[in-house]
Chain A
Amino acid sequence: MPRALEELFGARGCAVVGASQAPKKAGHQIVANMLAAGYKDGLYPINPAGGEILGCPCYPTVASIPNEVQLVILSAPSRATASIVEDLRKRMDEKGDLIGVVCAAAGFAEVGTDEGRSQQELLASFCRERKIRLIGPNCVGIIDTASRVDTTFIAGIVHAPGGISIASQSGALGAWLLMDWSSTPAGRVGFRRFITVGNMADVDIIEGIANLGADPGTKVLGVYIEGSPKARDLAYAIGLAASRKPVLAIKVGRSTEGARAAKSHTGSMAGADALYDGVFHQLGILRVRSPRELSDGLRAFDSLPSPRGGRTFILTQAGGPGIICVDECSASGNIVSALVSDATKAAIRAVVPEIASVCEPEGHADITAAADAGNHVDALEAVLRDEGVDAVILITVATLFLDLEGMARSMVERLAALRAEGINKPIFPVILSGEWVMPCRRVLEEGGLPTWDAPDRAVRALSLMIEHAERSKRSKP
């Protein structure tokens, strides 16, 4: 039995081969990321020139490190593989403590040359022989914010803990999200784990997905796949994870359809995209179409309580954006208007400006630009208290006379008070727009509530949550 991938996340002692003093080199950034992640179990840059990198003393070889080393990150050129393998072999003969190798370097099988393939096989066969798990080559590796490991050279990651994990066949797609999250209003999005697999010489995407599906710290899982000859196994692996937690997947290559001798109508219609679509539905995997949608969905699932159903109330201070939101909801296929009681309607009317339009149409209240911060929060509370409401989309456009930050602070407090009473429903604040509203959005996001810069983004994230909630209800006996 090979070691479980799980062990690598808690590795004690990490050597970085190819570590560099030059800040623009990957071998420097890896050391920087391990430090930024807060890794405290022994970080050992390997550089024959000696000296220090970011305060860590360098060692000439992995074999010469006196302390325990379980994980090795390779950032040296692929042509150095033979000498690296000799160093690792010496380490194993003398200390025998390595359990994992992350090969971040490129220039292996992915370049398609005999040379590249043989370097990869040299590394992979050594790892197999010594029961060391190999991630890559040609990948950025793994991050775990709980055990504070970050083998990647992605710049600008904020290592905030959270419940989101990502398994990706593309390192760059993961980098896209992780870097993007540093520019959200609060400057961070909490996450749990990140796995990329590169050339999959040993650990493949299926094992990565299985690990995150089983990981109790992963509350919601994002998957990026480019395709696999073992599509059925891959689908079952994602499906197994989806039976435990929400799984959002991007499957790219939508336009490339496998060539098929179409004797039958069925054959001519069985494009790869249509197959993935159907299989994802079959297994309860939520398909998303863009990295933005993936990020939005992951954030919503991680931060918000699950809606009990699709009955949604749109509380808007702005006419046009509210109508756009109504249109988006009706196009979603699973969001329906929440029909609130007459008592709720009266309660809303009592706390908003007289010119407000309440429940005309049903499930929608336009509290108008005359609404102040208190009106927003009071109306939201009245809506949330109604038994017929599963979720609320709150839309507001900054006006000069609206105290947005005050509204945000009082909303966070009011929601906490309602949660204490047992009223806990997903709320999607759409705060329009631009830099002007960032302080308000920051307060809300620091209070645990993702914010949205357009109604369609909020609607799509909510629609994914409803789809998952309905699926979960169905699969319960």
Chain B
Amino acid sequence: MKVLDEYAAREYLAGKGPRMAKAILARSSDAAVAAAEAIGWPVVAKASVDGVGHKSDFKGVELDLAGPDALVAAFARLSAAAAAAGFASAFRGILVEERLKGAEFIIGALRDEAFGPVVMVGSGGVLAELFKDAVFRMAPINAAEAERAIRETRASRFLEGFRGSPPLPIRPLAEAVAAASLIIAEDPAVVELDLNPFILGPSGGAAADLLIRLA
């Protein structure tokens, strides 16, 4: 049983998965700034630690870094946080990522003992487990069935535009759910897959984090 953290999981899927936020691994603060220039400010910085999926457990994520000074300072803090959490040897560097804005969903997939491969969609972010707003389907499914699953979630209220936020297109989310369902259905090595959050904005969506567990 092996957990692939975001960087390793991105490499594992290598383009066949759902759309991901743009990201570049930087091993120095200079490289981080160059990466941010290439991606576009503001950016998100994440400590990339081999085998550690849940970065918020050790304060390994910094959001909304608007310029080089903030990013350089974040680089130092994240390196220190990873070291303090005992991950010094597994620390790869900082993953500099596109800052996506929109509603947060979770897309998941797993191999259930009784049902086999299943896919899930629901309310995302760190509160995903608290609200348990998740809808399952046996995998694989197409985007049309994914749309029906999405409409069963409470989070689907975001699609119509919730409290002044703009309406959101369902299709990019549905396509990502269908893509996740194909991965779990077709790759027997994958046991669990989390895309959390998948951030959906008015002009499209992408996953801002990824975790894979291999058998």
**Residues of A in contact with B (beta carbons under 8 Å apart):** 227-232, 235, 258, 263-270, 272, 274-275, 277-279, 281-282
Contacts and interface: CB of A to CB of B under 8 A. Distances in A.
A232 B116 contact: yes
Given A265-B108, A266-B106, A231 B213 contact: no
Contact of A268 (B53, B109, B112, B129): B129
Contacts of B141: 282
Q: Residue among A263, A264, A278 with the most chain B CB within 10 A?
A: A264
The 6 lowest CB-CB distance pairs between A and B, nearest first, are A266-B108, A278-B136, A231-B114, A264-B192, A264-B194, A269-B134
B152 A281 contact: yes
Interface of B: 3, 53, 106, 108-110, 112-116, 118, 120, 122, 128-129, 132, 134-138, 141, 145, 148-149, 152, 192-194, 196, 211, 213
A269 B129 contact: yes
B148 A270 contact: no
Contacts of B149: 278, 281-282
Contact of A269 (B53, B114, B122): B122
B154 to A, nearest CB: 12
Given A229-B114, A235-B138, A264-B211, A269 B128 contact: yes
B136 A270 contact: yes
Nearest to B134: A269
Given A229-B113, A263-B213, A266-B109, A282 B193 contact: no
B194 A269 contact: no
A378 B110 CA distance: 57
A235 B118 CA distance: 13
A438 B213 CA distance: 61
Contact of B114 (A230, A265, A278, A281): A230
Nearest to A266: B108
Given A264-B211, A265-B129, A266-B110, A275 B192 contact: no
Nearest to B145: A282
Given A232-B116, A281-B148, A265 B196 contact: yes
Q: Residue among B110, B128, B194 with the most chain A CB within 10 A?
A: B110
Contacts of A278: 118, 120, 135-137, 149, 152
Q: Residue among A230, A258, A267, A278 with the most chain B CB within 10 A?
A: A278
Contacts of B120: 266, 269-270, 278
Contact of B138 (A230, A264, A265, A279): A279
Given A263-B211, A266-B193, 14 more contacts: A228-B114, A231-B114, A232-B114, A258-B113, A264-B193, A265-B129, A266-B110, A267-B108, A269-B120, A270-B118, A278-B120, A278-B135, A279-B115, A281-B148
Contact of A266 (B114, B148, B152, B192): B192
Nearest to B192: A264
B53 to A, nearest CB: 7
Contact of A274 (B128, B136, B196): B136
A258 B113 CA distance: 9
Contacts of A265: 106, 108, 128-129, 194, 196
A227 B141 CA distance: 23
A232 B138 contact: yes
Contacts of A228: 114
Contacts of A275: 112, 114-115, 118, 136
Contacts of A268: 129
24 contacts: A232-B116, A258-B113, A263-B53, A263-B211, A264-B110, A265-B128, A265-B129, A266-B108, A266-B192, A266-B193, A268-B129, A269-B134, A270-B110, A270-B120, A274-B132, A275-B118, A275-B136, A278-B118, A278-B136, A278-B152, A279-B138, A281-B149, A281-B152, A282-B149
A15 B13 CA distance: 63
A286 to B, nearest CB: 14
